[in-house]
Amino acid sequence: MTMVSSRTDAETLSLTMVAEFPASPERVWQVWEDPRQLERWWGPPGYPATFPEHDFRPGGSSRYFMTGPDGEKNLCWWRTVEIDRPSRLVFQEGFADESWQPVTEMGAMTGEVLFEPLPDGGTRMTTTSRFESVEQMQQMLEMGMEEGMREAMGQIDALLEEVSV
């Protein structure tokens, strides 16, 4: 993967990351669609993700947790808003409590992922996370979201090479 750029924008309350992969948009799409592949990269190294539920369709819900090195589990939810396979995905996500209910104090984020074909057969993946407030954005950045996403995306290349659906 080549990380092309990463930037935050307080005016639009967003974090945008652009990466390029040596695989078609259809293949890169699969690492989002297939929960077993998604588990292999969604959490940064040392914080693997587990998706016990991944209903990948508009209106579908997903539940996942990331397990830290100390065994602590952070529960999260994900609601798929839009799918335009294999070019665009929009979802909302946030933290969850022990009964998988949204933790409203943390708010929700909206993620948009664009998959653009490159002339060499690869894919440019642009991931934009939009926040509800400057405070939420700052809190997530202080929690290491940007670095965590960079590390997580860094695991996609190996997955693209070894798993094909």
CA distance to 34, 58, 75, 160, per residue, from 163 (Å) = 11, 25, 26, 6
Q: How would CATH label the architecture of 2-159?
A: 2-Layer Sandwich (3.30)
Residue 165 has pLDDT above 60, yes or no: no
Distance in angstroms (rounded) separating the CA atoms of residues 158 and 142? 28
Distance in angstroms (rounded) separating the CA atoms of residues 112 and 114? 7
Average pLDDT over residues 86-96: 97
Average pLDDT over residues 79-89: 97
Distance in angstroms (rounded) separating the CA atoms of residues 56 and 77? 13
Q: What is the pLDDT of residues 103-151, one digit of tens each?
A: 998 899 999 999 999 999 999 999 999 999 999 999 999 999 999 999 9
Q: What is the pLDDT of residues 45-63, one digit of tens each?
A: 989 999 999 999 999 999 9
- Domain definitions of the chain by residue range: 2-159
Distance in angstroms (rounded) separating the CA atoms of residues 135 and 38? 29
pLDDT at site 4? 87
59 Cβ partners below 8 Å, 6+ apart?
A: 79, 80
pLDDT at site 164? 56
